[in-house]
Structure 1
């Protein structure tokens, strides 16, 4: 089938294309032509070549054709770039009698967006023969009609247009009639002309064949039979005032409205002059459905719905007949033009280009194509479209009544996951008509939100001795994204994996933190690590949280008795004089507890035989003193059992046994460097000697201590000596709690060393191997296991001297 292709450039579309450059769109227009009835698959043209597009880009950039109609007459081969017919095209079905028949198609490419308009002209082929609505026509003609009289006949129709439509008529050879052909701009009509007088007696019926021929190549034709009945007498036929009438009406006129009044007169008299009007009953079924004529007045009136969009004009054939015998008639033509009213609202068609729009889509991304059509003509069919609701989209004009719906602002799926964009189109008629169409735009997720923990630091409290494998904490992070972008996995921060891997582990899916060992408060009080939450997006995003694990102390250590009563296998004994008064100091029990807090708060009790009320012990100090003076009834030896209990739940305890022996005089007392002074009634000579000895020893000790401090301060370049000692914690009841850890302290003494207390300054962070020591009352600390070996004797000696000095 022959085809023709042509490239067109309409000035209007060129102007639109120039404007569209501001919107980062590329537009163009191509015109092609294809004959109707072309077989599916017939090539129309090569779009890739004509649009100067690389064939490989067609598929990669999602090239597609978008048609404004429901049927897709054309498609594109993305492999070759060829535009081809995809289904049968019937021009008569598509455009009816329109002179020019076109199919407008939008060609769309993405990344970046480019729009092209294709105008495909459908060429008519002579595929329809002329046809008469009536295969048999009957005309009554009086024999008295003079030659030259004309008679209307029913013409033929042809669905084709232009030269393929009805071109001429032919009449079969006969002796009486010829055919008179009238050619207008868009139509061809014919009339019978009487050439020779009729004679009913010779030939009462004349049979003719009328042939309509179109202008196609080769031409096609159709025929109709005409029967002429020759009637007798009635000499004059009615005559219309005009052979052609013209009228103008608006569409949607009410039924019964008068369009025009026809007038015909008959020169005869009487009944032969009475005229009746009618519409030709053959070949104009549509006219008979929409119009009617008053047989007496000749008024043509509206009978049905007049719609400009369906029929902008009508050609009505009417006749006037007299009542003579035989009756005679005349014919006329009435051309009725329909004036358009604004009775059609615009129609909006939205064609989606993207199933979903990514939330990071840049401004200008095309989402859909919008076409607005109005069936009315003129200003009634001129339309504008706008978006009436708040949304991050806008309409950009591509061509007349064609728009692109593009992104006009930032999108955030976490705030709004979809938009219902309402497009309203209004025409310029009076009054203006409008319509709306709501288009749903789905926003798809991108990985733009990292997982977030509810707080930057998490404190976890774990009791010591908790079982291995227990879940000590579950961390959870929330990601505002969806799908894979919100699937969170947990892990230790890479830089801290080695430090924490031996203590705890983490479940990557649930965030459960699991202990890998039993924790001992006395060895490890706290540790820290960081957990990282990472989503499954591309690229993945992550965030961190700091986890502080604090070990809570359990009462799992018994009190420990300190020297001199802690030596295994030794017999602890003390002596007191018979003359001892009430409150006489017997001994002091010292104990420590490795636990902390209340678990290390110790209390002392005597478990003595029933009825023995000679001794008492300080509950918090551990000092054993006499309750009263001795009597002759008292035993000379008193075995005492001291119970040391902590304050934990459940309470743990330790015991120590001491034999207290009563002697007759103080000279018999075996001095054992107790740390609390003896109580005597008067200042004796013996006391004076002891005082002198103590002062001498104190001076020597003071000088030694000053030298030691000077040496230590010189070594550390500071004002304090560094000693390893326990951490001290005071309690409201007067007792002190000490950590058993070997820690560094700065120690100094006042100028009056004999009356000064030891001041201990703990280091900022205790080591993990800390112990707890409890020193009660006013006693001086004598625990020297953690001191340097050469300092032990000095410190112990100093403490014993101070203890003796305090007794005095």
Structure 2
């Protein structure tokens, strides 16, 4: 059975077909969405008058999205003129009715009736278009404009059969004179006219009362009624007739007010006042009544308002010609509006990222733009471009939507921000354009390590500095920004002379200032080499190292030190010069060093004092002591020279050394003179203090232990007398450092001694020393009086072991010791041997000064 239009079966069948079509469209849109992830388009169809909250469709399912994506992408509806009718439930992914939809109010006579809007998602950006078609339901009954006021017609009784009176879709109540005739417009719309089918006779029936019923095609059908009053006029039996049933004309949308468009013409066969025609416009919809006007006398239609192609592209105007007798003729005027490029493109920014990471890949979407042009055809076609040379490009996504994407990699250190001007231009003549400006900042990524101003640093600091003093500062820079460019300075953990570098210097982590932790001593350490690391605050942090060399500058803080002649406190060193020495004879050489460096270690030697200044001189640079004249017999045997050694520092420091020279040809002569040789004693204040302190301590200990010592000594003396036998003589007690001697032999008592030790002799009687030159006399009061012959030839020292004897000299109060002979040889030969090597032998004379 065929379903009738308007019946429930027909509506159900239509709904099922539409649902099937919607599923096919949904599948197609899902396929398109899979091919292009930047956007999709779906279409729903719903009947009008749905309740608020009714589900239109499952957007998440139809777009292939899950609910988490809708929530994280902050899905929302943007643009569109009728978006208030719908609402997107992101928690359920469905689209629901937000407001009652009246198709007649929304679209009027436009078929099909639909509205569209876009859904946008972020992170990443996606754009989807949704179209909702509103299906008509039979929810309105026909309504007459003035249902309480009947329609009145004044018809001449001479009206010819077949004359038409325009009406809407009506059903006329049964009568003998009028019938309804339906006509169709070219656009498909229909209208109804009431046609006179039987001549009127005013005399028989001056008034006709009819009822007009309007019935719609819905299910159930709805209707409305109105009364029609027909008045039959007298004797004007010819109505005006237009020469064309339809007039057509074109008008530019920018036509000025008052411009004539077209003139219609109608004629009336009557004469006199019944033939006078008046023109008027009727049945004008919308804003046409404000745009067009007609001269009632000439029938010229002119522009009286603003024509806008974007609002109405065609106007249909009914022109009515009425004679004086009330007869009318109608005609239709169709006015086509010609588009003019009078609208520039409009750019709307739908979504914009104000900043972009510099490590973003090419193709990253920065902004989504909606560009529209209200003009048509070429006037409405748009192209978008970017002004200037920028690393961006424009890509088209959906209709009238464009994406601004990156075209290459960014480097914030080169360009930190962009001012982008996007221009939209249509293809009209002349073309119109509009532009918008976008400001984009490039956010920093920690992709640059800090770098120092120099490849290596070198600094100097003078020794004996104050701890904590600043040495110098290192400086590093980072091309990144903000936290990524915040630099911290660190000392690498290295060793300097076996100690951590942090025990020598410290580093300010913020300023890079190196400070001394301790006071430096050039003589201990001459330079420091350390490594400084500059590290930024990025994540992960980047760093770089630089080598820093700190040179310790010397100060003249050390006086010269005399290495030779050796000053041994109570000992005297004497250089022996023969009386036959010529001019320039090398007596000895003063050897000194200075632990400072550079000029501070340059030494000069000067003769400060001398017994005879005319006899000796000192080399300024080498410290050599030489004779400046021939030595004579008149020169004193004992010569005392004071040599001062100065460095070249500022201020200079000095040291003095006393050189004793013996001018003699024989050793006995030297001995006879040097027994009475006195030497100056220099005391140090600090030494005196310590000696006094030590004396007090020793005195206390001595008093405490005196009784014990005497008892022990008496006991040992008694034991020694018991143990002494054979050829060991019984001797009185002596201090353990000394031994008794008995004279033997034929030589004088002063030169001939045998050594006899007691059981208490614990210290060696012999001391061996080496002098700096070949002829040296050494006097040592700390020994028991031992003299040793020193020769440069080591073979002489290895020939025999020497025996020594000592005797207390009552006249001089001194002890001295000298070599006499081998134990098996006569003393005389031993004395002679002492002078065989003159002046090339070295003699040591040790004298105990009491």
What TM-score do the two structures reach when normalised by structure 1? Answer: 0.68
Q: How does 1:342-421 map to 2 (within 5 A)?
A: 342-352=341-351, 354-421=353-420
Residue 64 of structure 1 is matched in structure 2 by: 75
Does the 8 Å contact 1:449/1:479 carry over to 2? yes
Residue 549 of structure 2 is matched in structure 1 by: 548
Shift of 1:588: 3.1
Q: How does 1:528-539 map to 2 (within 5 A)?
A: 528-539=529-540
CA distance change for structure 1 residues 369 and 518 in 2, over 3 Å: closer, same or farther? Answer: same
Counterpart-to-counterpart distance in 2, 1:50 and 1:104: 16
CA distance change for structure 1 residues 272 and 119 in 2, over 3 Å: closer, same or farther? Answer: closer
CA-to-aligned-CA distance 1:536-590 (integer Å, 9 cap, x gap)? 3333322222233332222222211212143334456667678877656555322
Q: How does 1:600-615 map to 2 (within 5 A)?
A: 600-608=601-609
Does the 8 Å contact 1:209/1:224 carry over to 2? yes
Does the 8 Å contact 1:132/1:283 carry over to 2? no
Residue 103 of structure 1 is matched in structure 2 by: 116
Residue 599 of structure 2 is matched in structure 1 by: 598
Residue 197 of structure 1 is matched in structure 2 by: 200
Give SS of 1:484's match.
Answer: helix
CA distance change for structure 1 residues 432 and 288 in 2, over 3 Å: closer, same or farther? Answer: same
Residue 132 of structure 2 is matched in structure 1 by: 120
Residue 784 of structure 1 is matched in structure 2 by: none
Does the 8 Å contact 2:284/2:317 carry over to 1? no
CA-to-aligned-CA distance 1:687-724 (integer Å, 9 cap, x gap)? xxxxxxx9x968989xxxxxxxxxxxxxxxxxxxxxxx
Residue 23 of structure 2 is matched in structure 1 by: 7
CA distance change for structure 1 residues 347 and 515 in 2, over 3 Å: closer, same or farther? Answer: same
Residue 43 of structure 1 is matched in structure 2 by: 55
Q: How does 1:187-226 map to 2 (within 5 A)?
A: 187-193=189-195, 197=200, 199=202
Counterpart-to-counterpart distance in 2, 1:454 and 1:65: 53
Shift of 1:314: 0.9
Residue 45 of structure 2 is matched in structure 1 by: 33
Does the 8 Å contact 1:555/1:595 carry over to 2? yes
Counterpart-to-counterpart distance in 2, 1:598 and 1:137: 134
Q: How does 1:784-799 map to 2 (within 5 A)?
A: none
CA-to-aligned-CA distance 1:502-551 (integer Å, 9 cap, x gap)? 33343444434343333222222233332333333333322222233332
CA distance change for structure 1 residues 314 and 448 in 2, over 3 Å: closer, same or farther? Answer: same
Does the 8 Å contact 1:250/1:339 carry over to 2? yes
Counterpart-to-counterpart distance in 1, 2:333 and 2:340: 22
Does the 8 Å contact 1:585/1:676 carry over to 2? no
Shift of 1:187: 3.4
CA distance change for structure 1 residues 660 and 481 in 2, over 3 Å: closer, same or farther? Answer: same
Give SS of 2:61's match.
Answer: helix
CA distance change for structure 1 residues 174 and 123 in 2, over 3 Å: closer, same or farther? Answer: same
CA distance change for structure 1 residues 321 and 97 in 2, over 3 Å: closer, same or farther? Answer: closer
CA distance change for structure 1 residues 495 and 625 in 2, over 3 Å: closer, same or farther? Answer: closer
CA distance change for structure 1 residues 599 and 126 in 2, over 3 Å: closer, same or farther? Answer: farther
Does the 8 Å contact 2:247/2:333 carry over to 1? yes
Shift of 1:34: 3.9
Does the 8 Å contact 2:258/2:303 carry over to 1? yes
CA distance change for structure 1 residues 455 and 560 in 2, over 3 Å: closer, same or farther? Answer: same
Does the 8 Å contact 1:558/1:654 carry over to 2? yes
Does the 8 Å contact 1:674/1:803 carry over to 2? no
Shift of 1:354: 4.1
CA-to-aligned-CA distance 1:295-344 (integer Å, 9 cap, x gap)? 3332212233322111111121222234x4x5554333212122333433
CA distance change for structure 1 residues 277 and 577 in 2, over 3 Å: closer, same or farther? Answer: same
CA distance change for structure 1 residues 146 and 72 in 2, over 3 Å: closer, same or farther? Answer: closer
Give SS of 1:620's match.
Answer: coil
Does the 8 Å contact 1:48/1:82 carry over to 2? yes
Residue 476 of structure 2 is matched in structure 1 by: 477
CA distance change for structure 1 residues 420 and 169 in 2, over 3 Å: closer, same or farther? Answer: farther
Residue 256 of structure 2 is matched in structure 1 by: 254
CA distance change for structure 1 residues 288 and 116 in 2, over 3 Å: closer, same or farther? Answer: closer
Counterpart-to-counterpart distance in 2, 1:295 and 1:479: 85
Shift of 1:133: 7.0
CA distance change for structure 1 residues 227 and 524 in 2, over 3 Å: closer, same or farther? Answer: farther
Counterpart-to-counterpart distance in 2, 1:700 and 1:72: 124
Counterpart-to-counterpart distance in 2, 1:579 and 1:697: 22
Does the 8 Å contact 1:103/1:122 carry over to 2? no
Give SS of 2:340's match.
Answer: coil
Shift of 1:262: 0.5
Q: How does 1:149-168 map to 2 (within 5 A)?
A: 150=163, 168=169
Does the 8 Å contact 1:175/1:196 carry over to 2? no
Does the 8 Å contact 2:584/2:628 carry over to 1? yes
Residue 558 of structure 2 is matched in structure 1 by: 557
Does the 8 Å contact 2:30/2:62 carry over to 1? no
Give SS of 2:414's match.
Answer: coil
Give SS of 2:288's match.
Answer: helix
CA distance change for structure 1 residues 239 and 115 in 2, over 3 Å: closer, same or farther? Answer: closer
Does the 8 Å contact 1:7/1:30 carry over to 2? no
User: After alignment, is 661-670 or 292-301 more displaced?
Assistant: 661-670
Counterpart-to-counterpart distance in 2, 1:227 and 1:253: 43
Residue 159 of structure 2 is matched in structure 1 by: 146
Matched, 1:245 2:247: yes
Give SS of 1:562's match.
Answer: strand
Shift of 1:411: 2.0
Shift of 1:233: 5.5
CA distance change for structure 1 residues 338 and 64 in 2, over 3 Å: closer, same or farther? Answer: same
CA distance change for structure 1 residues 495 and 599 in 2, over 3 Å: closer, same or farther? Answer: closer
Shift of 1:240: 1.7
Counterpart-to-counterpart distance in 1, 2:434 and 2:384: 10
Does the 8 Å contact 2:373/2:382 carry over to 1? yes
Counterpart-to-counterpart distance in 2, 1:426 and 1:539: 47
CA distance change for structure 1 residues 285 and 43 in 2, over 3 Å: closer, same or farther? Answer: closer
Does the 8 Å contact 1:210/1:223 carry over to 2? yes
Does the 8 Å contact 1:66/1:351 carry over to 2? no
Does the 8 Å contact 2:30/2:63 carry over to 1? no
User: After alignment, is 442-451 or 576-585 more displaced?
Assistant: 576-585
Max Rg structure: 2
Give SS of 2:501's match.
Answer: helix
Residue 93 of structure 2 is matched in structure 1 by: 81
Counterpart-to-counterpart distance in 1, 2:394 and 2:192: 55
Does the 8 Å contact 1:579/1:665 carry over to 2? no
Shift of 1:153: 6.3
Counterpart-to-counterpart distance in 2, 1:342 and 1:329: 41
Shift of 1:144: 4.0
CA-to-aligned-CA distance 1:180-205 (integer Å, 9 cap, x gap)? 5545455343445557737499878x
CA distance change for structure 1 residues 34 and 445 in 2, over 3 Å: closer, same or farther? Answer: farther
Residue 642 of structure 1 is matched in structure 2 by: 643
Residue 291 of structure 1 is matched in structure 2 by: 292
Give SS of 1:289's match.
Answer: helix
Counterpart-to-counterpart distance in 2, 1:574 and 1:238: 165
Residue 455 of structure 2 is matched in structure 1 by: 456
Equivalences, count = 667
Counterpart-to-counterpart distance in 1, 2:343 and 2:473: 66
CA distance change for structure 1 residues 230 and 8 in 2, over 3 Å: closer, same or farther? Answer: same
